[in-house]
Chains A and B, each alone.
Chain A
Amino acid sequence: MKKVFTFLVIAFLGINLFAQGLNPEILKKVDSKLQPFLTTLTGLLKTTNFSLPSLVEVKNDVLGVIVKTSNVAELKSHGFNVNSSFNDFATVRLNTSDLTKLALLRSTKFISAGEIYYPTNNVGGATVGAKLLNSGYANSTQYKGQGVLVCIIDTGIDWAHLDFRDPTDNTKSRIVYIWDQTLTKTGSEKTPEDRDGTNFSGLNYGVEYSQTDINNEIDGSPAGFVRERDVHGHGTHVAGTAAGNGATRTDRKYAGIAPEADILVVKAGDGSFPTNNWIDGLTYASKVAIQQGKALVVNMSLGSDSGPHDGTTTGEQAVDNFVSSANGRVCVISAGNSGSDLIHVTGSLAHSNTKDFNFNVPTYTPQSSASNDYFLFNLWFDGNGTVSTNVTSPNSIQVSSSSSTNDGYVYIGNSVSGLNNNREVEFEIYDSDASKTPASGNWKISVTNNSGSSMVYHGWLYKTTFNATLTGADANYTVGSPGNASNALTVGSFVTRWRWPSIDGNSYHYNGTELSDDISSFSSIGPRRDGAQKPDIAAPGQAIISVKSADSSPNNVYVIPGDKYLVEQGTSMASPMTAGCVALLLQQNPNLTYSQVKSYITNNAFTDSYTSTVPNKYWGYGKLNIFRAMVNLLNSGWSGNFHTYVYDQWNNVQYGYTNLSPNNKIAVRFTPGINGDITGVLIHLYNANNISGNLSFEIWSDNGGLPGTKLGNTVNYDATNLDLSWNYINLQSSNVSVSSGTDYHIVTYFTAGSATGFMLDDGNVDNRSSVYSSSSSTWGAFNYDLRIRPIIATDKSLVGIEESASLPQRFELYNNYPNPFNPTTIIKYELPKAGLVNLKIYDILGREVMTLVNNEQSPGVYKIPFKGENLSSGVYFYRIQAGSFVQSKKMILLK
């Protein structure tokens, strides 16, 4: 009966479609995701079983689409808003009601959904797998941070920058509030407490600007109200990495990790941040998140080398309190930039023994006023025993307590902290009087243990204005505060990009190991003083291209052509990369606790020859891999993965390159270690980019070590968007799946322009590179390793919900496949309605082996991978319970 009815409905619609010219041939011209917006005589077509309209982004009834057309001019002549065009493609924004008109144009060949796809070139984002999640590769969902609040506590934000606006209406901001703690309110300005005295009581300083205030400022009615400015530029860059949408450029290649998250900004200082300010910032962010009913990730790219380094400072405990205040609260903090600073000493001091700490103060030119020439040394013991102190200046002046001397003022604080019951001794040698600056030469600080037992000490030369040095110091234990907070996600930095183009016309680069994929030399080193693991994870933090504040004045060396983006390095940059990734996880499950988020991040990190065994004091648990973390969150029994295949070696030489001429080709042979899809490539250009039109990419089979035949589609990338640096190109449309252990080649070429340099290392370690000569039509081996790195991800069928044209009509549990299996099989089931789903594995004795699913699921067809790699061969059962539906099936693991 139902089938007959469906037939009649389709037949009826077909008649109407045909009557209006919308025959099935017209439907073929329109992406299935867009077909619900086609109109007929009877109204919208969405009464039939097309894809969900929600798969396409529509704001204010405006739809972005990509049109393959034989005549771009005709689009314009019919009044369509053509944003850009490339050969026979054009991007168009139109009202949904105009879609049918567009489809009916004779020149229109195909209309595809122009969902905001971010074909981003952000190398860091690609390296950690975020760009794959942005693109919708996993779970048929574009993870861009939708519905999650990303709070940046920093130096403010350039709220006018296009990357922080709604891309469908750039008169609207994505910033929900800015609380500028540095301003004093005037006129009608308000503090958070002024706005809402009930929920924001006590937050009664600074000025808060609402989204409406910002929108009014952007559209100029009224203007001059929002006074917040990011003069420093740090906060803007950090915010761009976490949540910028890249909208300044049409290709959006510098989009951040969570480009559709809501942004909350706390300006806690211009160049420094008092602890109380950012503690208040955490309180404020928490209250805004409660009001908006959203999950919240806070990024703090700030820190200090002073403190006990054990997680007990008030600020660190405030971080712990914040993240445990509710589910969906995460705080991501930079580890620090002291990884190559020799500022730390440690040892054991026996009863009645004395330890001398020697500092060399070089010859320097004192600054004019007081309290600006100094070195500061902070010493902590693992107990509360008493110690006595003595300081000897270069001119042999000795003091045992705080004193003013002709060699400078000596401050000595010697007390037991009420926070950890440990003894702290603070030494500050400074110019309390501008005429008595710290003397150059050797300063000796002597500490005698007067307690009844030996004590372990750690000391840090945590600040100096004249490059004082500490004899015998190392760079261990340099993760800063508040990064040492137990429940923070603390982030170190590693290298992904090491070269960038500058607005001054040159390109600049790092040197040494920072031309590799290694940890950044500056990334602070753990562990904590109490031995606890820090940092937790490492993320890309060098040559990160993100938003430039128009109110800042950085050195042009770091400004990217166009003057809207800026290169920065530091764990400050690695932290927001991670915070953006956390927003993607919270989008999938806003109720995750901080400890769950931390587990997903740390348990799924990359390890390689650089990270060595993890966890360790440099890398924490390794390189951030948000793709695998997300897949693990989606399917608890499965760890899907993606991998970048690297055959070029770091050799401290970055100048090697080969000139490729039009129609010639270069290729790198790769051998994936996983079954999966080609999803992208990293490629490094050198010298001038002389390519006209596209740089093309193809995947070829292998023929005796050289490329054989082309597989899948050619992917063309507009060469004007390439940087003279590493570039990330999305290759999902190549539509090539690869098998583990099989050789393939990634081939690149262009057909128009003149010779362009492609970078290589200066060795031929792997014999994997080859070149194609168009004049001889032959491939031949190339004697260097080209810097071309294919990226492979697990077959998408393994990582989420199966795409389906229609929703299931009934519950169904299918036979697993393959069966028998070793070690992976897929369990497929269908849900006709939403509800709690429980899928468990049992052994033949009925003992529960694993829970694969235990959460609310929407209607749909699910494929859940099950890996039995740690189980012995034998018969197992899988059992599903969804509402009143319960069913079990048998499967065989055969190793």
Chain B
Amino acid sequence: MKILTFLLLSLLLGCSQTKDIPKDKMDPALAAKLSELKQNSSDETIDFIGKCNSEISSAMKDVLETSGINLHSVSKDIFTATGNYKAIIKIAGKDFIKWLELPKTTYPLKNN
């Protein structure tokens, strides 16, 4: 019985761990945004950028798209996408994902 309880707890713990925000794979801004979405149980979709460990293959592309994100563009190992909390957490758990981040803001560089 104890063993069964242990296994059950381990399984539950394991499942809950997969839903944790893997902060080592994302910039603090995205982690903070995901925390906010999680806290509010929000289904809001956000734009984000990802980098993979290698050039994105069609198989990897399929995995990304079936994870529920809307993949906009793929440039070798970089992609842009839109997704909600669940979808982003799901792809963050993929081994081939190296880094995820919120878009930064750039500005026109005129000086007058």
Tell me if B108 is interfacial: C-beta within 8 Å of chain A: yes
Chain A hits for B105, CB < 8 A = 272-275, 304
CA–CA, A569 and B32, complex, Å? 38
- Chain A residues with CB under 8 Å of B12's CB are none
Tell me the nearest residue of chain B to A420, going by C-beta.
B99
Output the least CB separation between A523 and chain B (Å): 9
Smallest beta-carbon distance B103→chain A, Å? 4
CB neighbors of A among B31-88 (8 A): 32, 47-51, 70-78, 80
Q: Which residues of A contact B26 (CB under 8 A)?
A: 418
Task: Enumerate chain A residues within 8 angstroms of B25, measured Cβ to Cβ.
Answer: 418
Chain B residues within 8 Å of A259, by CB: none
Which stretch, A249-257, A279-287, A602-610, A871-879, touches the partner chain B? A279-287
Give the chain A neighbours of B71 by CB distance below 8 A.
202
Which residues of chain B are near A317, meaning CB under 8 Å? Answer: 51, 77-78
A residues 268-300 with Cβ under 8 Å of B?
Answer: 271-280, 282-284
From B47, B50, B108, B112, contact of A302 by CB (8 A): B108
Q: Within 8 Å CB of B103, what residues of A? A: 274-277
Q: Which residues of A contact B99 (CB under 8 A)?
A: 314, 417-419
Asked if A301 is at the interface of the complex by the 8 Å CB criterion, the answer is yes
Contacts of A161 in B (CB 8 A): none
Question: Most A CB atoms within 10 A — which of B23, B71, B108, B112?
Answer: B108
Contact A276 B110 (CB under 8 A): no
B107 touches A304 (CB 8 A): yes
- How many Å lie between the Cα of A317 and that of B55 in the bound state? 12
Are A302 and B78 in contact, CB atoms less than 8 angstroms apart?
no
* Stretch in A441-449, A570-578, A622-630, A886-894 with 4+ CB within 8 Å of B: A570-578
> Which residues from B are CB-within-8-Å of A302?
106-109
CB distance from B79 to the nearest CB of A (A): 9
Instruction: State how many angstroms separate the Cβ of A544 from the closest Cβ of chain B.
Output: 10
Instruction: Name the B residues within 8 Å of A307 (CB-CB).
Output: 104
B29 within 8 A of A: yes
Check if A568 is an interface residue, CB within 8 A of chain B. Answer: yes
Q: Determine which of B73, B104, B107, B108 lies in contact with A280 in the assembled complex, contact meaning CB atoms within 8 Å.
A: B73
Q: Are A415 and B106 in contact (CB under 8 A)?
A: no
A276 touches B47 (CB 8 A): yes
B-contacting 9-mer, from A318-326, A684-692, A777-785 = A318-326
Q: Does A232 contact B (CB under 8 A)?
A: yes
Task: Give the docked Cα–Cα distance between A302 and B107 (Å).
Answer: 5
Across the interface, do B73 and A570 meet the contact criterion of CB distance under 8 Å? no
Task: Kindly list chain B residues whose C-beta atoms are within 8 Å of the C-beta of A271.
Answer: 107-108
**Residues on A with beta carbons closer than 8 Å to the beta carbon of B76:** 321, 324-325
B8 → chain A closest CB, angstroms: 34
Residue among A155, A202, A275 making CB contact with B108, cutoff 8 Å: A155
Complex-state Cα separation, A180 to B77, whole angstroms: 25
**Is B27 part of the contact surface with A, judged by Cβ < 8 Å?**
yes
We find that the number of chain B residues with CB closer than 8 angstroms to chain A is 36
Complexed CA–CA distance, A419 and B50 (Å)? 10
| Closest CB in chain A relative to B83 CB, distance in Å | 12
Closest to B75 in A: A321
User: Could you tell me the distance between the alpha carbons of A540 and B8 in the complex, rounded to whole angstroms?
Assistant: 69
B111 lies within 8 A of A419 (CB): no
- Interchain CA distance A336-B106 in the complex, whole Å: 11
Give the distance in Å from the alpha carbon of A265 to the alpha carbon of B104 in the complex.
21
Which residue of B73, B109, B111 contacts A279 across the interface (Cβ within 8 Å)? B73
Nearest CB in chain B: distance from A511 CB, A? 13
B28 contacts A273, C-beta separation under 8 Å: no
Who on chain B is nearest to A335 by CB? B109
Is residue A474 within 8 Å, beta carbon to beta carbon, of the partner chain? Answer: no
| Structural contact, B110 and A415, CB atoms closer than 8 A | no
Give the nearest-CB partner of B71 in chain A: A202
- Residue ID in chain A nearest B99 by CB atoms: A418
Least Cβ–Cβ distance between A277 and chain B, in angstroms = 7
**Pairwise interchain contact B75-A279, C-beta atoms closer than 8 A:** yes
The answer to whether B73 touches A283, judged by C-beta atoms less than 8 angstroms apart, is yes
Known: A322-B75, A415-B23, A418-B24. A280 touches B106 (CB 8 A): no
Q: B72, B98, B104: which contacts A304 (Cβ < 8 A)?
A: B104
Using CB atoms, name the residue of chain A closest to B23: A415
Q: In the complex, are the beta carbons of A202 and B27 less than 8 A apart?
A: no
Q: How far is the CB of A255 from chain B (nearest CB, A)?
A: 20
A537 adjacent to chain B (CB < 8 Å): no
The reply on A522 being an interface residue by CB < 8 A is yes
- Cβ of A304 and Cβ of B106 under 8 Å apart? yes
B99 smallest CB distance to A (angstroms): 4
Rounded to whole angstroms, the CA-CA distance of A845 and B11 in the bound complex is: 78
Closest to B29 in A: A413
| In the complex, A234 has a CB within 8 A of chain B | yes
In the complex, are the beta carbons of B112 and A558 less than 8 A apart? yes
Q: A276 to chain B: which residues have CB within 8 Å?
A: 47-49, 72, 80, 103
B34 to nearest A CB, angstroms?
Answer: 14
Q: Which residues of A contact B23 (CB under 8 A)?
A: 415
Residue of B nearest to A557 (CB): B112
Residues of A within 8 A of B77 (CB): 317, 321
Most chain-B CB neighbours within 10 Å: which of A154, A232, A413, A482? A413
The minimal Cβ–Cβ distance linking A125 to chain B, given in whole angstroms, is 19
User: Measured between alpha carbons, how far is A272 from B23 in the docked complex, in Å?
Assistant: 27
A464 CA / B33 CA spacing, docked (Å): 22
User: Do A282 and B75 touch across chains, with their CB atoms under 8 A apart?
Assistant: yes
Min distance, Cβ B61 to any Cβ of chain A, angstroms: 10
A570 touching B47 by the CB < 8 A rule?
A: no
- Bound complex: CA A284 to CA B75 (Å): 11
Q: What 0/1 readout, one digit per residue, does chain A (219-244) give for beta carbons within 8 Å of chain B?
A: 00000000000001010010000000
Is A204 among interface residues, defined by CB-CB distance under 8 A? yes
Tell me, yes or no, whether A27 is within 8 Å of chain B by CB: no
A321 to B86, CA, bound (A): 29
Q: Which residue of B lies closest to A412 (CB)?
A: B28
Least CB distance, B58 to chain A, in whole angstroms = 12
Instruction: Count chain A CB atoms within 10 A of each CB in B27, B50, B71, B80 and give the residue with the most.
Output: B80
Minimum Cβ distance to chain B for residue A740 (Å): 39
For A573, the chain B residues whose CB sits under 8 A away are 110
Are the C-beta atoms of B109 and A303 separated by less than 8 Å? Answer: yes
Interface readout for A479-494 with B: 1 if CB under 8 Å, 0 if not? 0111000000000000
Interface residues of chain A, those whose CB is within 8 Å of chain B, are: 154-155, 202-205, 232, 234, 237, 271-280, 282-284, 301-304, 306-307, 313-315, 317-318, 321-322, 324-325, 334, 336-337, 413-419, 426, 480-482, 520, 522, 558, 567-573, 575
Can you list 25 A-B pairs with a CB-CB distance of less than 8 A? A202-B74, A203-B72, A274-B104, A275-B104, A279-B78, A280-B80, A282-B73, A283-B72, A283-B74, A302-B109, A303-B106, A306-B104, A314-B51, A315-B104, A322-B75, A334-B109, A336-B109, A415-B23, A415-B28, A419-B51, A480-B109, A481-B104, A567-B112, A568-B110, A572-B109
Give chain B's interface residues, CB within 8 Å of chain A.
23-29, 32, 47-51, 70-78, 80, 98-99, 101, 103-112
Given contacts A274-B106, A568-B112, 15 further A-B contacts (CB under 8 A): A154-B108, A203-B73, A283-B72, A307-B104, A317-B77, A318-B78, A322-B75, A413-B32, A415-B27, A417-B27, A418-B26, A419-B51, A481-B104, A569-B110, A572-B110
